[in-house]
Chains A and B, each alone.
Chain A
Amino acid sequence: MQLRSLVVLVALFGFSFSVSAQKFYTKNGLLSFFSNTAFENIKADNNQVTSVLNTQTGELQFSLLNNAFHFKKALMEEHFNEDYMESKTYPKSSFKGSITNIKNVNFSKDGVYPVSVTGELSLHGVTKKISTTANISLKGGKISGAAKFSITLADYQIKIDDTVKDSIAKTIEITVSCLYDQKL
């Protein structure tokens, strides 16, 4: 092998290693939703959120299985999966987007960095563009991310029966919290 080819190979290997070292992930992130009405508050948690963050490009992805949401009441969980989310037909929800100002985050210094996130949320067979603010936190070298935003159920073709329309809010608050403790 010529020396030039060898140099190119070594450089390519070094480049791919440095890029891959910028990806952090979790498969046990937390996503909660909260529905607030005068009649009733409903909360559910999903602790099996897979998320990948590329700290160099800001690329950010989330995905979760809808039937892993846990409710306080078994009946609510049943209705969520069978009547509203239709988890058999639409088993997965996902987000694909990016942190648009990733350069504002200093990944070598502890702190809380406000960021802007934009991308496409796919839920119940409908994909819509969303934007929100979030915080990226660095603590002892560990990266975590947190965001809170709202979605309107009608935007995702989720229909609520007239009989329970006073118990379920039209707009649901979503909270996401991920500790990116694994490296790709």
Chain B
Amino acid sequence: MATSTKKIIRISVVALVLAAVGLGLWMWNKPHKDIKNAHAIDITAEKLYQTFITDSAKAKTAYINQVLEVSGTVSQVSENQQQQQIIFINTGVTGASINCTMESKASSIKPGDQIRIKGVCSGYNSGDADMGLPGDVFLIRGYPTNN
């Protein structure tokens, strides 16, 4: 084999190894999805909740793990145990909310405010019928988009 051919093979192998290592490193350190700038499905809190209650198969396909921008009236503002802000959006069903865990805090938000929150929909957790607790639809990694 000619020296120049050997050289080309050697360079190709090194380039391939470097590319594989680079790809591996990129995959390993791949950042989480940029929710703030992601395309979102626009929907009201009432419609989102009702879709999960009346047609859960459709809701699962259309909304779970998707970025949604949910609009509605704030019913409660609190904090979880990791000091993340929790915002409940009214669904029109007593005791049931769009339960949003926020990635960034918005101190001015209070119950009664109209809000739009962008976040990833985890789905509907049915609460407990035996204990009389209605379920919520959960949104994680939330950002307010109208504050």
Residues on A lying within 8 angstroms of B by beta carbon are 20, 23, 25, 27-30, 45, 47-48, 50, 52, 54, 59, 61, 63-65, 67-68, 70, 73-75, 77, 91-92, 177, 179, 181, 184
Contacts and interface: CB of A to CB of B under 8 A. Distances in A.
29 contacts: A25-B131, A28-B80, A28-B86, A28-B99, A28-B101, A30-B82, A47-B80, A47-B81, A48-B122, A48-B140, A50-B125, A50-B127, A50-B128, A50-B133, A50-B136, A52-B131, A67-B64, A67-B65, A67-B123, A68-B122, A68-B140, A70-B141, A74-B30, A74-B32, A74-B33, A75-B27, A75-B30, A77-B32, A177-B81
Contacts of A91: 64, 123
Contacts of A48: 99, 101, 122, 125, 138, 140
Nearest to A178: B81
Interface of B: 27-33, 64-65, 78, 80-82, 84, 86, 97, 99, 101, 122-123, 125-128, 131-133, 135-136, 138, 140-141
Given A48-B99, A65-B138, A73-B28, 9 more contacts: A28-B99, A30-B80, A47-B81, A47-B101, A48-B101, A63-B125, A63-B126, A75-B30, A91-B123
Top 9 nearest A-B pairs by Cβ distance? A68-B122, A65-B122, A74-B32, A52-B131, A28-B80, A47-B80, A30-B81, A48-B138, A74-B30
A65 B101 contact: no
Contact of A73 (B29, B128, B140): B29
Which of B27, B65, B82, B86 is packed against the most chain A CB atoms within 10 Å? B82
Nearest to A26: B80
B84 A47 contact: yes
Nearest to A59: B131
Contacts of B86: 28
Contacts of A28: 78, 80, 86, 99, 101
